[in-house]
Amino acid sequence: MDNEVLIVEDEFIVANDLRLTLKQAGYHVIGIAVSAEEADEYIKKTKPDLVLLDIQLEGKQSGIDLAKKLNEENIAFIFLSANSNQEILEQAKQTNPYGFLVKPFREKDLLIALEIASYRHKNSLESRLQQEDLLQKKFKAIAAEILKPEEYLLTIARILQPYIPFDLIIWQYKESDNENLNTLGYLRIGFDEYQFIALKELSVITSLKTSLLTSIFKNSFIEKDTSIDNNEAINDDAVLSLLKNHFKTESYLILPLILNDETKVKYIFCSRKQNNYSNFHTDLLNRSKTCFSEQIKLNLKNFKSANLLNKADLKTEENSKKENQLEFNTIIGKHPLLLEALDLVLKVSNYNTSVLILGESGTGKEKIAQSIHTLSMRKNGPFIKVNCAAIPSTLIESELFGHEKGAFTGALEKRKGKFELAEGGTIFLDEIGELTLEMQTKLLRVLQEKEIDSVGGNSPKKVDIRIVAATNQNLEKEIAAGRFRLDLYYRLNVFPITLPPLRERKTDINELALYFAKKFSREFNKDFTGITTEMTEELYNYEWPGNIRELENVMQRSVILNEGNSKLELKQNLSIATSEVSIKEDIQNLEDVRNIQRKTEREYIISILKKVNGRIRGNAGAAFLLNIKPTTLESKIAKLQIKKEDFQN
């Protein structure tokens, strides 16, 4: 094994144990650092492949500070933590580590985490190269188009959004023989929705005169290299300070272009997330400078004739939707965490790469899988859904791969399996973590060989399919427990997409509630005049352990219970579930977080079973209220070790 590892740990005994374990496993440890500053020195001498990184270190900087630098250097790292509070864990999560181990951990857990991190890092590099190639092709595709300035910027914004995440993009154009500095921008207000902003709009937003704004932008129009400002020296730049105050932006990526002695252009990408830009983004922009310049030169005449200071009458609606852009159908919401996930969907859709969708039950994993298929080149092929938890283990092989006539008792005729039915399209394997180890082995062969063996068949059959899998489990923990194959995880986790729980995107609750209320009002032929303020507040304050699926069920029951033409009222008690599932535990580390999530799901299911007196099936059963199949609920009840005495008096 050639991987070189740097250990950053200030406890000598722990660090030495790690060194011995890694050496025995075939890793090369380039050194042990007790501080972020010492780790910097090691990295300058020898760039490691992986870094094991404690959060609490000697010196002024923490492991989280070092993690930000490792991201910039494109070095994979795994956090090590003992006792950390929730705030520190959230900060660590934002650095996108390749793994997280809670002390004390087993040697097996460490080695598995290292293998997974190495594999993910390798595939992320390959994925980046593919993405850059696609970006260059998109630039070339618009090279022959003659565009007005606002059309040009909107086109560029849409092309770059999946690669350079931004909430606001500002574009400036200046010629030395012209006193005017043309400034315009777009504010992202939804997926593929952008609000046009020129100086006149900025004047309304900031309450500053356009003459003063013009002066501010002119004085800040300084030529320099592509740079990142992650809020350290923001007060030194009047424009960035202005954007921060009025658009709540926290990090900035600046790309200047000098086309010739006369023409200068500047792009400012702004994000509301802290430290959202890295060297990867600057390198990407620098490699794309030629494409930027060629497109601008092509449109110079249009730019010169445009008076951008008088574009206040430009309608946002006319520019908010991209032509021929397939939309995300019924995916509702505009929260940044959701938009990030949708950007990843757009990124990966055109490849045949396997995708693993992660997220709690009810967060919309199936809709994301459907969108990946709809936006891909396989959109005209079938989209086959399989709930792995709902199929008995004795039937799963036949269900997936098909069977021959007479293969087993009851096999009266030959039958195609789900994989064969998905030929030329996409197969969605939901609850992938529920597959038995035997079926995992057979699924791995399908991924490796692109062929299936039907039950009772004599020869394998080639299949042309794309696999999208989903789970609400922590597969790394399942691997460590011996319940999930590491090599299968490698094959599935090439491109992970994580969906946020509803409690982390509460700003979307009102829009989702309105969508479901209108949907069920139409379905039940009832008038809908809105939702009461009291109900809106209750929906917002609830924690939603069942996520969007639970919200949909709540809205359905509310519409059914609502009488007359008055505004929709809740007419049901959300506090029962909340009181029984309240989280007051002292969170010390990631394992505590996982335990609380399991406890929350268990207690929520118990609360529903209590309401229906233990009934699972039927319109008044728990499965109906949870909007899942009865077999899926029974699988969860068994896995969470829920017994009759837990919900029966």
DSSP-derived secondary structure for 103-170: SS--HHHHHHHHHHHHHHHHHHHHHHHHHHHHHHHHHHHTTT----HHHHHHHHHHHHTTTS--SEEE
**CB contact at 8 A, 80 and 52:** yes
What distance in Å separates the CA atoms of residue 517 and residue 508, rounded to the nearest whole number? 14
Per-residue b/e over 445-462, b at no fewer than 16 CB within 10 Å? ebeeeeebbbbeeeeebe
At residue 418, the pLDDT reads 92
Task: Name the band, by pLDDT with cuts 50, 70 and 90, for residue 368.
Answer: very high
Cβ 494 vs Cβ 121: under 8 Å:
no
Return the higher-pLDDT residue of 432 and 481: 432
Q: Which of 103-112, 147-156, 373-382, 553-562 has the highest mean pLDDT?
A: 373-382
Give the model's pLDDT for residue 300.
63
Contact assessment for residue 542 and residue 554, using Cβ atoms and an 8 Å cutoff: no
- The DSSP symbol for 499 reads P
pLDDT band for position 318 (cuts 50, 70, 90): very low
Read off the amino acid at residue 39: A
- Cβ atoms of 301 and 188 closer than 8 Å: no
Residue 33's pLDDT is: 93
Q: In whole angstroms, how far apart are CA 345 and each of 75, 163, 378, 383, 491?
A: 24, 12, 14, 16, 18
- Report the distance separating Cα 247 and Cα 269, nearest Å: 12
Quote the distance between the C-alpha of residue 160 and its chain's center.
17
CB distance 99 to 105 below 8 Å: no
Q: Which domains does the chain have, with CATH numbers?
A: 4-126 (3.40.50.2300), 142-319 (3.30.450.80), 336-498 (3.40.50.300), 504-647 (1.10.8.60)
Q: Which amino acid, 416?
A: K
Spatial contact of 243 and 270, defined as CB atoms under 8 Å apart: yes
Choice between 475 and 187, residue whose per-residue pLDDT is larger: 187
Asked whether residue 3 carries a pLDDT value surpassing 60, the answer given is: yes
Q: Averaged over 482-494, what is the pLDDT?
A: 82
Strand positions, DSSP E, 259-361: 263-271, 355-358
473 against 125, higher pLDDT: 473
pLDDT at 309 (0 to 100): 36
Task: Give the CA dihedral 296, 278, 85, 120, nearest 10 degrees.
Answer: 110
pLDDT in tens, 576-606: 444 333 434 444 444 444 454 555 677 778 8
Residue 20 has pLDDT above 90, yes or no: yes
> Does pLDDT of 317 surpass 50?
no
In this prediction, residue 356 carries a pLDDT of 94
Q: Select, from the ranges 136-140, 199-203, 454-458, 512-516, the one with the highest average predicted confidence (pLDDT).
A: 512-516
Q: What is the pLDDT of residue 562?
A: 83
Most confident of 85-94, 173-182, 509-518: 509-518
CA distance 456 to 608: 43
Cα separation of 120 and 126, whole Å? 10
DSSP 506: G
**Does 525 or 122 have the greater pLDDT score?**
525
Q: Which residues pair with 228 in a beta bridge?
A: 253
pLDDT band at 486 (very low <50, low <70, confident <90, very high): confident
**At 478, which amino acid appears?**
E
Residue 52 pLDDT level (bands cut at 50, 70, 90): very high
Check pLDDT > 70 for residue 178.
no
Percentage of the chain modeled with pLDDT above 70: 83
Q: Taking residues 31-39, report their average pLDDT.
A: 93
- With 90 as the cut, is the pLDDT of residue 425 above it? yes
Alpha-carbon distance 22 to 107, whole Å?
9
Mean pLDDT of 49-61: 91
pLDDT value, residue 470: 95
Say how far residue 422 (Cα) sits from the centre of its chain. Answer: 26
- pLDDT at residue 499, rounded to an integer: 93
Give the three-state DSSP class for 597.
Answer: helix
Q: What percent of the chain has pLDDT over 90?
A: 24
Q: How confident is the model at residue 39 (pLDDT cuts 50, 70, 90)?
A: very high
Nearest alpha-carbon partner for 495 in 472, 476, 474, 467: 467
CA angle 160, 166, 171 (to 5 degrees): 70
Paired tokens of 623? 């499965």
Residue 628 scores a pLDDT above 50? yes
pLDDT score, position 289: 78
pLDDT of 459 > 50? The answer is: yes
Q: Where are the beta strands (DSSP E) in 390-542?
A: 426-430, 451-452, 461-462, 466-471, 495-498
CA gap 608, 573 in Å, rounded: 12
Confidence of residue 313 (pLDDT cuts 50, 70, 90): very low
Residue 322 scores a pLDDT above 50: no
Residue 91, sorted as left (phi over 0), alpha (psi -120 to 50) or beta, turns out to be: alpha
For all residues of the chain together, what is the average pLDDT? 81
Instruction: Give the per-residue pLDDT at 566.
Output: 75
In the chain, the N- to C-terminal Cα span, in Å, equals 58
Q: What is the pLDDT of residue 177?
A: 56
CA 496 to chain CA centroid, Å, is: 8
- For residue 392, the model assigns a pLDDT of 83
Token pair listed for 178:
């012209």
> For residue 402, how many other CB atoms are within 10 A of its CB?
23
Average pLDDT over residues 119-147: 74
Residue 260 scores a pLDDT above 60: yes
For the beta carbon of residue 611, count every other beta carbon within 10 angstroms. Answer: 15
Tokens at residue 305, please? 């004739």
What is the band of 83 on the pLDDT scale with cuts at 50, 70, 90? low
pLDDT value at residue 631:
81
Report how far residue 361's alpha carbon sits from residue 433's, in angstroms, rounded to the nearest whole number. Answer: 13
Quote the distance between the C-alpha of residue 419 and its chain's center. Answer: 27
Query: At CA 275, angle to CA 269 and CA 278, rounded to 5?
Result: 70
Q: Which helix (H) or strand (E) holds 385?
A: strand 383-387
Helix (H, G, I), strand (E, B) or coil at 389: coil
The upper half-sphere exposure of residue 28, i.e. CA atoms within 13 Å in the direction of its Cβ, equals 9
User: 3-state DSSP call for residue 570?
Assistant: coil
Sign of torsion over alpha carbons 171, 175, 176, 177: negative
Interatomic CA distance for residues 497 and 345, integer angstroms: 8
Alpha-carbon distance 556 to 311, whole Å? 45
Which pLDDT score is estimated for 303?
Answer: 59
pLDDT at 324 over 70: no
Rg (CA), the chain: 27
**In terms of residues, how long is the chain?**
649
**In this structure, are residues 464 and 419 in contact, taking their beta carbons and an 8 Å threshold?**
no
State the DSSP H helix or E strand holding residue 173, giving kind and residue range, or none if neither. strand 168-175
Q: Does 157 or 629 have the greater pLDDT score?
A: 157
Distance CA 579, CA 558 (A): 21
**Is the model's pLDDT at 471 over the cut of 90?**
yes
Q: Which two tokens stand for residue 252?
A: 């900035």
Distance, in Å, from the CA atom of 123 to the CA atom of 145, rounded to the nearest integer, reads 35
C-alpha span between 156 and 292 (Å, rounded): 9
Q: Which helix (H) or strand (E) holds 13?
A: helix 12-24
**310 has pLDDT over 80:** no
- Are residues 132 and 284 in contact, defined by beta-carbon separation less than 8 angstroms? yes
